[in-house]
Chain A
């Protein structure tokens, strides 16, 4: 089975006497209330989904990621996984060499951060190096603007797992997906990351993948997304409906990916691939404008960024796809790589066109979207 990033699946969940000791210590510590992104990060770090990270990045790793798109030890890594002090008081109370209690917004203790470093970050510098823009209209830049400018880094000791309200029947940790793949006898597994409903074009990519691997994990991102993305509840209905009718049950698994979106395009594509490796995935699909937003990234920047690393460094196999569509001439799904047809022979719809149709209660053509999926989306639009 594929090795985790860095060779070891991290486990930062503490139990027994050590947990009791930390629970006793926590009330005496300075505390920081985490936002949704940070809570998801803590939970993913806890179970090794972001191996080799054992906590929020310290200053040395943060600087290395910004400068080289690698951790300080040289492993590929593109997105800072960081904790921001929420205000000057939080920042002042946190001390290098000390501990900080990390809590959810409803006051549940999640973890103790063993603070290794505390530093002032430069928001513009991080935005330009990671997101390739400092345009405040970019949602990732907007997030940076919303947080404090002091980062705290260090190992985590997670005393309580984050409790999720929804989709608990679809949440599996890396050790669980790895066990699943082993039990299923899947030696090769492709993962598909999405934050959107799956229409025919993306279904086609996953089916192409299924032709060459043993199993497929639909791994939709269910962490925080921007407010105008399709809501998670609606997307989950779509995924369940699609799987029920159009995928072989024995070769497909739907599992929630709890991370928050960064909208980092190419940088985020690398993060998505590395994390999937930790879940035991051997092949990762990267299509057009992966994790992109607006027009900040080139259509295939998220594929090109992987050229900075060797295959051995990344570990996971990439399945790079061109834009796909229903081709009228060949009578099937295709891409410019597999069909000689011109643009006039393609059934393609822009995001705006699809939204307008759904809002009007009009079913998009079946060559674009499965009717079951279109109906769920129309119902969701009506309910708004």
Chain B
């Protein structure tokens, strides 16, 4: 059973811009792209506190010249959880 759908209006210039953006991008239509972006955005919105914490960790890593070792949504609390797991498993 498919979900029912609704129409959302967006400005025509924006629509044209999306058409250009999705050329050869793998999205089959502007609608697919908009659905994708909105889903992504809403997913991100759920994790706002996490993202703030990640930015703090990432900034710290950047300052220490360690860019590349921090996942985008890896929080300071996550880091402590991982360290705890590593200790419990005998790795640390």
Q: A interface vs B, CB < 8 Å?
A: 1-4, 7-9, 11, 14-18, 25, 28, 48, 58-60, 96-98, 114, 116-117, 155, 157, 169-170, 172, 174-176, 178-180, 182-184, 253, 280
Contact = CB atoms under 8 A, between A and B. Distances in A.
Nearest to A2: B68
A170 B42 CA distance: 35
28 contacts: A1-B68, A2-B68, A3-B67, A4-B68, A11-B71, A11-B73, A16-B46, A17-B42, A17-B46, A25-B3, A28-B1, A60-B26, A96-B32, A97-B31, A97-B32, A116-B26, A169-B89, A174-B71, A175-B78, A175-B82, A176-B86, A178-B69, A179-B79, A179-B83, A179-B86, A180-B91, A183-B83, A183-B86
A248 B85 CA distance: 22
A348 B12 CA distance: 73
- Of the four ranges (under 10, 10 to 19, 20 to 34, 35 or more), the interface on chain B belongs to 35 or more
A182 B70 CA distance: 11
B72 interface: yes
A17 B41 CA distance: 12
A8 B70 CA distance: 9
A111 B74 CA distance: 20
B74 A175 contact: yes
Interface in B42-75: 42-43, 46-47, 66-74
A18 B46 contact: yes
Given A9-B70, A97-B28, A97-B29, 13 more contacts: A1-B68, A4-B68, A9-B74, A11-B73, A96-B28, A97-B31, A98-B2, A114-B36, A116-B28, A117-B26, A178-B69, A179-B79, A183-B83
Contacts, number: 83
Interface of B is mostly: loop
A174 B71 CA distance: 9
Contacts of A4: 68
The 8 closest A-B pairs by CB, nearest first: A3-B68, A1-B69, A16-B46, A9-B71, A18-B43, A17-B46, A97-B32, A179-B82
Nearest to A280: B69
A175 B71 contact: yes
B68 to A, nearest CB: 3
A267 to B, nearest CB: 23
Contacts of B74: 9, 11, 175
